[in-house]
Structure formats: structure tokens, C-alpha cells
A = this chain, B = another copy of it.
Amino acid sequence: MFKVNDNYLKLPGSYLFSTIGKKVREYKAANPDRSVISLGIGDVTQPLAPAIIEALHGAVDEMAAAETFHGYAPDLGYEFLRNAIAKNDYADRGCEIAADEIFVSDGAKCDSGNIQEIFSVDNKIAVCDPVYPVYVDTNVMAGRTGTYDAKTGTWSDVIYMPCTAENGFAPELPKETPDIIYLCFPNNPTGSTITKDQLQMWVDYANKVGAVIIYDAAYEAYISEENVPHSIYECVGARTCAIELKSFSKNAGFTGTRLGYTVIPKDLKSGDVMLHSLWARRHGTKYNGAPYIVQKAGEAVYSPEGKKQLAGQVGYYMNNAKTILTGLKEMGYTVSGGVNAPYIWLKTPAGMTSWEFFDVLLEKANVVGTPGSGFGPSGEGYFRLTAFGTYESTVEALERIRKI
């Protein structure tokens, strides 16, 4: 008689964004006359840039002729894309990352969920609190997190690193030594970030205790301030302790086009075993590459026209962020983020819980955001809004919130 993976049954509730989606669908069904504005899930709204559209059409035409047709992609991704990434995202920033240390994938969510597979089940993870739910949930599914305490919303075998107003939403080194440390800067959900010196401290710590940092740099394109690292490989020693995850979703609007990559330096080893080899094996065995046409679109992200157009797109969203930040401050909300990240993190008013504020916002303003408690216990009493709406809907959402 077959048995299921019991770890799945330990997961409380459904995946955060599925829950939100369901609530919104139900509200819309019950109130078909209301127009609901979503500043919730972090999905982009601007169309793909012209340079990307052109690359896509060109690649589709290639697929139409036998001479230029592309079947199975190389395991790690096409060289044209890995070379463009190595040059633009690393060499140009003074980071030493070779093209064959880059694994192209269909997105950072998949990679951030799958990466834990190459580690032992005995390893202990440390996460920021609040945190992108995928890191913890995928470790729950793998049986790495112990038991769940519904009262505190925490797992017995996970090291939580609170990120609150008190520490400027920057995690402190944990008291207990972790094996795997998940870091995300600019941060989802708080929109905060850390300086290069602060990140160097984490790299030094990881090398000292023999931990691996899984560094999620999905929001790197939104950095506007100096001295904020765009990659963990800007830090000395990161090649021996860090894996970096990158996405094309937010810098190029690929949420529905699907492309990302993971960097594993060949210097990152456990004894003689390169983590690079293990991930290569996983890619070769369980994955078949991102579509050729999408990889060509990814290449266009690094073309001169692509870069220019996407800088405009990021600027558009960051203007939304500024609008939300300024507007909420005027209304008296306590807010942070929104300067180096497309996320605004606000304190719920009048001691409301995160989900109470979610309901108020949905019902009274018809605006959807994300409850901070969905990201972890220290997110309780906070709420995330995203800058990924249109400018018009962002302004309209703020007007509605003002009227609550």
C-alpha cells in the first residue's frame, strides 16, 4: 500500500498567494460591481519591452524552419545567455563568475524551492522572519523543519532571524549555528536592504562556521542607493560559501514568461564534492532547460536597447513605490522599503492583525495587499504593498486607502 510524503501534511494552510487569490476571487464573485486593485502578489503589469518582443518574434521564426529549429537545450542553458549573464551581471561588476557556473532555469521560485534537495535532510536552515514562504515551505516538504507550533507559527528545527523595525529589518547573526542560511536583499517582503559591509559580515560568518548562504537577489535591479551590493559575489570569499538566485521576473517583466538562473561557484564544496556537480546532476536528471525562445528573450534583456527600455520600466515601478511611500506617510502610516525595492512595508494601523487589515483593505478600499503574517511570525502587524501596478491604479488605490 503506497504512503504519501507525510511532511506535506504538516504544512499549515495553503501556499500564501493561493490563499490570497482564493479570497479575492470569492470577494469579486460576491461583489461583481466592484473594481479591485491588486497591489498584492507582486505580479508586474507593464508589457514586455520592445527589444524583448522583437527577440521573441525572431526566435519563433527560427523555430519555424528546420535549419534554425531548436530542440532540447543544453542542460545548463544556452551559451549565448550564460555568456551575457556572466559579462553583464558579474564581470562588469568585478565579480568572478564563469559562464559555466551559471544554471539557466525557468525562474527563481523553482530554483529557490528545489535548491534544498542537494543538501542533507539533517541540515538546519536559518531564515529571516518575515520571509518569502517558499524557503521554509519547501524545507517542510523535505522533512527538514521539525514540528510546527501553531501558536507561534514557527517550526522547531528552523532558526528564525527576526527582521523588525528595531533592527532596521536587517537580520542579526543567529545564536545557534545554521548549516544553510537564506538571505534575500533587497528584501521580499520588507523592501529593506543591507550594505556591502553588512553582507560581507554574513559571508565571513558563513565561511567561518561552514554554512552555505542561499542568496536571493531577485530584486537587485531596483537598487537605487550606493553601497548596496547587487550580487553577493561582490563580497570577498563568497565563492566558497554562497549560491545566488536571480530572476528575470521583476527586472524584465518575465513573471509569465519564466526565466531565472542560479549561480554555484565551483569553489563551493563539501569535502571533495562540488555543490556545482550536484546541481548539474539535478538539472540533467529532473529538468530539460528553459524554452529556446525564452532564452533568446533573456539575451535581449542585456542588449543596449533592452537595457535602456528596462531601466525605464524599473523607473516606472519605482515611481509607483515613491507614490505609495509618500502617500502613506502623509496619511500617517509607518512605512519602510520602496527605495531599493518594489515593496512597501507598512505597520497596520490601530493594532490590527495583518489579516484583519487585509480584510479591511479588500472590503473598504477594494485594494489587495499581502498580510505580513503570511511571511512569518515577525510579519504580524505588518502589510506588504507592491509597486507593480500601473501608475493610475496605484494613485487610485492610495485615494481609496485615504478614504478608509
Contact = CB atoms under 8 A, between A and B. Distances in A.
Range of interface residues on A (Cβ < 8 Å): 35 or more
B255 A107 contact: no
9 contacts: A2-B120, A3-B120, A8-B118, A8-B282, A46-B66, A53-B63, A113-B286, A141-B285, A256-B291
A291 B109 contact: no
A65 B47 contact: yes
B281 A15 contact: yes
Identical subunits present: 2
A138 B281 CA distance: 10
A34 interface: no
Given A47-B69, A69-B48, A293-B293, A288 B258 contact: yes
Interface of A: 1-6, 8-9, 11, 14-15, 17-18, 41, 43-48, 50, 53, 56-57, 60-61, 63-66, 69-73, 75, 106-107, 109-110, 113-114, 117-123, 133-134, 137-138, 141, 179-180, 209-212, 253, 255-258, 270, 273, 275, 278, 281-282, 284-294, 390
Nearest to A269: B4
Nearest to A271: B4
A11 B288 contact: no
A353 to B, nearest CB: 24
A3 B60 contact: no
Given A258-B291, A273-B4, A45 B66 contact: yes
A209 B106 CA distance: 38
Contacts of A75: 18
Contacts of A4: 118-120, 270, 273, 275, 278
